[in-house]
Amino acid sequence: MESRPAAEFNTLLTQSRRRQGTLRGRFWAGIGAAAAAGLLIGGIAGGLIGYSNGEQGSSTSAAPATVTAPAQPTQINPTIPTTPDPVCAEWSPIAQDYLSKERDWAHGTDPKVAMAQRTPEQQALTRAVIPIMRVEVADMRRLAGKAQDPLLKALMQGQAMYEEAYANRLPNYQPSDDRLWVASVDFGNAVNSLCTAVAPR
């Protein structure tokens, strides 16, 4: 699938996925935690083995345990990239494809109406989009694993995390659940910005 120009793609993200209101971009500011430190275990075990002809036997010592250094947490030092992360070329057409697959649901349902109050047609649209979102979540996590930029990786993981939580709420959707979708869209917009807004003119 051919990628659209950045401006057109930004418009699609804003109009098709947000559905209403102004999107507010958010950046995820942290990722990961330090692993637990290893404990030094060791000692010297000695003892009297026996006596022969009035002479004392020698003592033995246990070897010290191996110590594993704790893993260092991932450091994120945001900078404006000079070139897009290589994974962006794969992310852009995939994101556009999901916009297309979710369009009927996005335009055919009202986020202010709970699932129980929706028409049968709207409920069918909602149920149909759930497996699409689950596949999108898996794709976002797969792409996050390829990202070289730690910030981009974190943003893709954030998009997947909030979209998965939202998909889980859809069978019994309540209007308050829409904030999860807004967060997912905001993370997606941030990914798009990091992939398209590079330093050189």
Look at residue 141 and tell me if it is in a domain.
Answer: yes
Question: Tens of pLDDT along 6-23?
Answer: 444 454 454 455 444 433
Mean pLDDT, residues 112-135 taken together: 98
Look at residue 157 and tell me if it is in a domain: yes
Residue 66 domain-assigned (yes or no): no
pLDDT of residue 81: 87
* Assigned domain for 188 exists: yes
User: In which band, very low, low, confident or very high, does the pLDDT at 64 lie, cut at 50, 70 and 90?
Assistant: low
Question: How many C-beta neighbours within 10 Å does residue 64 have?
Answer: 11
Instruction: Convert the pLDDT of each residue in 118-129 to its tens digit.
Output: 999 999 999 999
pLDDT single digits (tens) 140-183: 999 999 999 999 999 999 999 999 999 999 999 999 999 999 99
H-assigned helices in 69-177 = 88-101, 103-108, 120-146, 150-169
In a domain, 160, yes or no: yes
What predicted TM-score, i.e. pTM, was given to this entire model?
0.65
Q: How is residue 35 written in tokens?
A: 């692993």
Q: Within 10 Å of residue 99's Cβ, how many Cβ atoms?
A: 17
Residue showing tokens 């990722």:
31
**Domain encompassing residue 187:** 125-201
What is d(CA 41, CA 49) in angstroms, rounded to the nearest whole number? 24
Task: Name the domain count of the chain.
Answer: 1
Q: Is residue 179 part of a domain?
A: yes
